[in-house]
Every structure is written in C-alpha cells, then in structure tokens.
Amino acid sequence: MAGAGTGDLPWGDPPDQARYVRVIGKPGRAAQAPWRLGGDLGWPDTLLDAGRVGALTVRVASTRGPSHRFYGTVREDAAQAVDIDGRYLAAAVADGAGSVTGSGHAAQIAVRYALHRLHQRLGRRAATEHGGLVQEVQDAIGQADQALRRQWQGPPATTLVVAVLSALPDAEGRYPFAAARVGDSSAYRRAGGGFVDLLPEAPAGEGPQVHTTRTEGLPSPVLARGLPLVAGALERDEVLLLASDGLGTPLRIEEVNAEVARWWRRPPDPVEFLAQVQFRRKSFDDDRSAVAVWTSAGAPPPAAAARGVAVVGSSHLPRVHPQARPFAHQEPPPPDQVLDAGRAGDLEVRAASVRGARHGREALARHESVGVIGVAGQVVAVVAQGTPTGASFHAGCGYAVRECLAMAKAAPPGVPAAELAGWLAGVVARTDERLAGSGEVPPGEQTALLVAVVDSAPGAAGGYGFALARAGGPPAYRLSGAKLVPVPDTAPPDAASPDTAPPVAAVARVRLGGPRPGPPLRVASGHGQLAGGEALVLASEGMRLADPEVADRVAAYLDRSEPGPLEFLDALPGLVRDEADRSAVVVWAGDRAPAPGAEAAAPAETGTPPAAGPPAADPAAAGPASGPAPGAGPAPGGGPGPAAGPPAADAGGER
C-alpha cells in the first residue's frame, strides 16, 4: 500500500533497534509511516531534557504522535521541568486541544506561567513565606489561567497538570509533593509495579483529592472552585510521572502500564527515555509528553556515564537549569535536546541541537538552536548559535531561529530557491533588526545565524536548488561522495573588504545582536544545486566541520547511514569528541531525479567565509569515555564516531 506521497527515501528508525523503537502490542501502520515536516513555526517535533535537582533525577520528553507526524502538523503538547534553587523541582505538562487552532501555543503559555509562578513563590528570593505545596500548585494553575486570558482569549485550549516536589528528603527521608490538574493530563505514581493515576476522574470521596467543578481546559471561567489535586510524599526510589493523555490513555491498559513501569524502575538515559515515551501501539497516535522524576537516584545509571554520547545532561550532572530570567522574556530556557525530522517533497530532513557536556556541568542551557519547516515546495532550515555571555541561557538564538523562520516562510511564492540568496540575506538582516527591537534579547548577546532554503522538487536541470545566507559562524557544507565541501559564498558580504583577512569588528558586525546603534551587519549569501543523493549540511561551530578529521568522520557517517530521527539525535554528540553544544541540520535530496550532470554549486566563485569562527580550537577535554552503550541494544551514537552498522535501508517506511 505504501504511504501516499512517499518517494524514494523515506527512512525511519530501524524497528529492530530497541534503543530507538519500542513496541507494545501491535505497532500499527501510523507509527511506522514516514514523518512529514511540520509547516508551522511552533516548535520542533521533539524536545528532550534530563538532569538532576537535589536528590531527584528528571527526564522530560514531549513529542509529536504518529498522527501529527504523518500529516505534517505541529505538536500540541508542551512539557517542562525547572529547578527552583536546588530546593524544589517544579514540572508541568499541557496538551493543546486538537480542535482549537494554535492550541500548542496555549499549552506553552500554560506551562511557562505555571512554572514561573512556582519559581517566584518557592524560590529563595520569594518575597513572602510560601504556603503549602498544594496551595502553591493550585495558585500556579490559576496564574497560568490568567496568563492565558491575557494572551490567548480564545476558547479553552489546553489541559495542564502541575507538580512540585521537594528536591531534598525531609527528616523521615521522604519527598513531599503536590500536584493538580485541569483536563485529562494527569499525575501518576509508580507503585506495586505499575503507574497509578493520582488524580483520577473518579467521584470525590476516595483518596485525598477534592473534586468539585469539572474543568476540561484553560482558560476556564470556573477554575476558582477547586481542581483535582493531591498532596503526599514519595519514598526513596519512587517515581512521579506527569503525562499528557497521549501517554495517559494507553497507560490505562494493564499491559502498557506494566511495561512502562518496568522500563522506568530506574532512570533510563535520555534517548532511551524518548524511545520509550513514544512506544508504538496501534491506534494510539496522539502527541505524548512526560515528565518523570525519580527520588534518590542512587548510583547514576551506567548507561549514561559510559556512553560516548557527550553526556547531554545525563543523570550524574546537576542540570535542569534554574529559571534564572525574569519572565518578561518570552523565550523559555531551551531543553537539552531538540529534534526535528521528516520528509518534504523529495527531501529527507534531520535537525537536532544538543547541549554539550560543558554547559551541562555548569548548569548552563544550550546556547544553540535549530529550526526547520516545510513550506510550499521548499524547506527552510536555520542554525543559530549564541556567544557565551555568562548568563544561564542565551535568549537570542532561539528568538532568531523563530523570527528567521517566520520571515523565510513568507518567501516569494514560486521563485526557485537558487534565486532567493539575496532575499535570504535580507531576511538575516531583518532578523537582526527584530532581535534588537524585541526587548527580549540582552544587548550583550551575539548570535551567528545560517539559513537555507532548498527546493523540495528537482528543477528543470534535475538538481535541487538552494540558497544560503549567514552572518557569523561556519559556512554550509555540501555532502557529496562521502566528502563535506564548504559551499562558497557567491555574494561576498562586502566586496571591498579582503575576504581573506579577518573581519575588523569596528567596520562591520559579524554576528546578530550587540549594542545599538552599531555598524552594519555583514551577511554573506550563496546558492547552488544539490544533485540527487547529495545533502546540504548546516552545522554549528560545535560540530567543528572546519577540522578535516571531524568533517571526514561526519561525512562518512552521513554518507553511509540513512539515520532515523532518534538515531540521528543519538549520533550527533558522538561524532565530535568535544564538550561544546552542537547542532546540525541535514537535508538530503532524493535520488529519484536523474540529476543529469546537474552542474552543481558554482565552483568558480571562491570566497572565504566572512567570519569563520575560531578554527578548530583545542580538542577540549576529550569528552567522556567512549565505549559500547550498555543497556538497551546497540547504540551507534556511542564511541569513536558512528559505529552504526550499515543502515537498514528501508527501515522505517512501510515499504
């Protein structure tokens, strides 16, 4: 039958690799169908977070379900956990209603404001003594409700479950917690080999919860009078779980519940956690989000420590960065890892951004960001990286990616990508202006930005046209014949300046941001054609593609693998033995097109990148030890480059 509209190269995570694909019962067809890129700016397919707060170990995942992946629509769930001064962990999960357009945005607002409120109330600098955890959780939901009334104004659009836990044990060695919910996202506790719903839909009278007015979503006119809520204390080695109904509904099935409870007896490593959250089961195709919290983790799981994968907030690191910024800044701190993937026309796309070990250790957030969307006939991809400022996170790169995508989405219709280079350079310049005018990005922050537009169908000559623009940061690369070749700038940023000389800061700004008024921004641009089978690679400096050895390793991996989404996310850290954040977008052109001698990227024009970053710095502290991934199955991401076997070519697609 073959999914409609699939071309030659839909590839997914290999079903035989338990590290990436879990199945409970029949997998169903939807979960095996190729993913499509979303056309919405919203946020990526998947976010993944992991870390420790006090004696708690935390995993957070929020993913599109098979339905949204198949239709190329956006994730409507949101999930986040924050560290409140090492004393509390606050967590929230929200699920935007499918029937309300843009509800994913409402879900994000709900999560962010609830957690912000808890941080205000329970943080060390709180103005007043806080009340009981139950009241605080209720109050946080009330704040989320009010924020939605101000910012949303539509019909009830999102569920919300909020929990707060003491991060340190009390005198009896227990961890007090409270949770409350609106709608069908709920809180669960692992007990007796299964997860038990702490806030069930049951009539009042049983258990500790109060249950009066039913409210299914926020904003809600009848919130004040009471919510399902629970207070209690976890013992050592217990698990508290918040889940959207995408996970909660199948958890009502005994077989599923028992299996998940077995998986989560101990904290799995992040990628494994992600694979488990999105286990396949026929007909359960909703988005899924989970925040799982383990009390007193004991020894860190060996998997996380020993894997070469650069420790992305693994459990032995203090992580879950504090909510350090005032909430006037709309940009929430980014999660450890984001992943986007899917197909658009003949293109297969992978995008991921992963926090490196150094930031993990210092409890700083990722300073990079990626974004990718499919729009009419084209794919737009962005990589941004912020220069460190000492702040816990970098607001500019996330903001820049969103703004840049929003503008690039409005590309003049029907124009081949290769003709958009100049226009794209304008987008980068305007992104810079918006950043400066946003009030959300501190002037000290600087951001390098690289954006590409690629045609998702071959042009007359058989090639897939693309255009690039960038300010600061490394150039884009073309993957061709297992080699990565920088794509030259065809329009040098400033014809007068000698491109080989390092840019003079006084003359032009190399990156976005910085104090205003300032010198003009140097934007370089380029264009070209990808032949079928080639790929365009956009990478952050952390990928260190300027280092020939690294570039060869990455090229070899990308050339011989057709990595599924999770596999790609998993491989990214291992490809560079370094502690920096790293981000990459890879856009493969389908080889359906014969691509007869597609005279590829204008080789004549030379020109060095205007502002190549510091060339391959020291190989840093050599990262964590490499070695085979213990635990669940083979792990190609580990160790010396990708040890991945040859790819299971037809892996993910139905056929």
CB of 258 to another protein, least distance (A): 14
User: What is the footprint of another protein within residues 449-488 (CB under 8 A)?
Assistant: none
User: How far apart, in Å, do the first and last CA atoms of the chain sit?
Assistant: 8
Residues 6+ apart with CB under 8 A from 549: none
| 99 contributes a contact to another protein by CB under 8 A | yes
- Judged by CB under 8 A, the residue of 4, 328, 460, 506 near another protein is 4
- Judged by CB under 8 A, the residue of 136, 259, 285, 455 near another protein is 285
CB of 461 to another protein, least distance (A): 32
CB of 285 to another protein, least distance (A): 5
User: What is the footprint of another protein within residues 225-264 (CB under 8 A)?
Assistant: 245, 249, 252-253, 255
- Return d(Cα 347, Cα 378) in angstroms, integer: 9
CA angle at residue 360 from 85 to 616, to 5 degrees? 145
Contact range with another protein by CB under 8 A, out of 83-91, 92-100, 333-341, 471-479:
92-100
| 2 contributes a contact to another protein by CB under 8 A | yes
| 299 contributes a contact to another protein by CB under 8 A | no
Residue nearer to another protein on the CB measure, 30 or 380: 30
- Return d(Cα 239, Cα 326) in angstroms, integer: 30
Residue bearing tokens 């005279």: 599
Residue nearer to another protein on the CB measure, 228 or 493: 228
Residue nearer to another protein on the CB measure, 160 or 352: 160
For 516-552, letters b (16+ CB in 10 Å) and e give eeeeebbbbbbbbbbbbbbbbbbbbbbbbbbbeebbe
- Judged by CB under 8 A, the residue of 77, 95, 336, 570 near another protein is 95
- Judged by CB under 8 A, the residue of 238, 494, 591, 654 near another protein is 654
CB of 96 to another protein, least distance (A): 9
**How is residue 332 written in tokens?**
């929430």
- Judged by CB under 8 A, the residue of 40, 45, 83, 184 near another protein is 184
Residue nearer to another protein on the CB measure, 73 or 387: 73
Residue nearer to another protein on the CB measure, 227 or 421: 227
Residue nearer to another protein on the CB measure, 29 or 560: 29
Contact 2, 29 (CB under 8 A): no
- Return d(Cα 560, Cα 11) in angstroms, integer: 13
- Return d(Cα 283, Cα 654) in angstroms, integer: 16
**How is residue 244 written in tokens?**
């959207």
- Per-position x/- string for 318-347, each x denoting binding to another protein as judged by CB under 8 A, each - no binding: ------------------------------
Q: State the helix-helix crossing angle for 103-122 and 133-151, rounded to 10 degrees.
A: 140
Contact 427, 493 (CB under 8 A): no
| 29 contributes a contact to another protein by CB under 8 A | yes
| 284 contributes a contact to another protein by CB under 8 A | yes
Contact range with another protein by CB under 8 A, out of 23-31, 304-312, 370-378, 514-522:
23-31
Residue nearer to another protein on the CB measure, 30 or 115: 30
CB-hemisphere CA count at 13 Å for 82? Answer: 24
State how far the alpha carbon of 475 is from the alpha carbons of 339, 533, 611, 612, in Å: 21, 20, 9, 8
| 494 contributes a contact to another protein by CB under 8 A | no
Q: What is the pairing mode between strands 446-455 and 464-471?
A: antiparallel
- Judged by CB under 8 A, the residue of 286, 336, 348, 578 near another protein is 286
Residue nearer to another protein on the CB measure, 96 or 465: 96
Residues 6+ apart with CB under 8 A from 144: 109, 110, 111, 113, 114, 117, 160, 162, 218
- Per-position x/- string for 40-79, each x denoting binding to another protein as judged by CB under 8 A, each - no binding: -------------------------xxx--xx--------
CB of 249 to another protein, least distance (A): 5
- Judged by CB under 8 A, the residue of 18, 25, 426, 616 near another protein is 25
CB of 28 to another protein, least distance (A): 4
What is the DSSP annotation of 318-367? B-S-B--S-TTS-PPPPPSEEEEEEEETTEEEEEEEE--HHHHHTTPPP-
Residue nearer to another protein on the CB measure, 200 or 633: 200
**How is residue 290 written in tokens?**
């989970």
Contact 107, 147 (CB under 8 A): no
Residues near another protein (CB under 8 A): 1-4, 25-26, 28-30, 32-33, 65-67, 70-71, 95, 97-99, 184, 245, 249, 252-253, 255, 281-286, 654
